[in-house]
């Protein structure tokens, strides 16, 4: 879903999710695809916004950001936010086990963000 924050990949100038994947090595590529499926499965209110250097997930049209994933060749830098007032928790993910731990924090952030 494109909310008009940045041009979509079909609108020229934007970057697609697949373009982010193309720049990653395994296992980071598989982990990023898995985290995307996980984030989108949290609820119908999840919105994905693909940006030039990262992918952001938010809750509802008020765009309450709860997850930010920045791909970095062989790992992912994830920021999880549980409220607008508190600073995000930063998690570096290189292995699937770390991603599984991050999923717990992501699910909690999705539930708590207002």
Q: What is the pLDDT of residues 45-79, one digit of tens each?
A: 999 999 999 999 999 867 689 999 999 999 999 99
75-80/46-50 β-pairing: unpaired
On whether residue 90 sits in a domain, the answer given is yes
Distance from the Cα of residue 98 to its chain's centroid: 15
C-alpha 114/C-alpha 33 separation (Å) is 26
55-59/75-80 β-pairing: unpaired
Average pLDDT of the chain is 88
Question: What is the pLDDT, as a whole number, of residue 2?
Answer: 42
What pTM does this model have?
Answer: 0.85
On the 0-12 / 13-18 / 19+ scale of CB atoms within 10 A, 99 is buried
Cβ atoms 41, 33 nearer than 8 A:
no
On whether residue 1 sits in a domain, the answer given is no
On whether residue 3 sits in a domain, the answer given is no
On whether residue 8 sits in a domain, the answer given is no
pLDDT value at 12 more than 50? no
On whether residue 73 sits in a domain, the answer given is yes
Query: Which residue range forms the structural domain that includes residue 102?
Result: 13-112
Number of domains in the chain: 1
């Amino acid at each position: 879903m494109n909310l008009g924050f940045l041009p979509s990949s079909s609108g020229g100038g934007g970057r697609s999710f697949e373009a982010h994947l193309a720049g990653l090595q395994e296992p980071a590529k598989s982990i990023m695809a898995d985290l995307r499926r996980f984030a989108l499965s949290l609820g119908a209110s999840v919105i994905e916004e693909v940006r030039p250097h990262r992918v952001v997930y938010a809750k509802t049209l008020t765009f309450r950001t709860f997850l930010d994933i920045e791909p970095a060749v062989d790992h992912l830098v994830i920021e999880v936010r549980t409220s607008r007032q508190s600073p995000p928790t930063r998690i570096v993910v290189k292995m699937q086990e770390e991603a599984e731990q991050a999923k717990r924090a992501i699910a909690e952030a999705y539930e708590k963000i207002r």
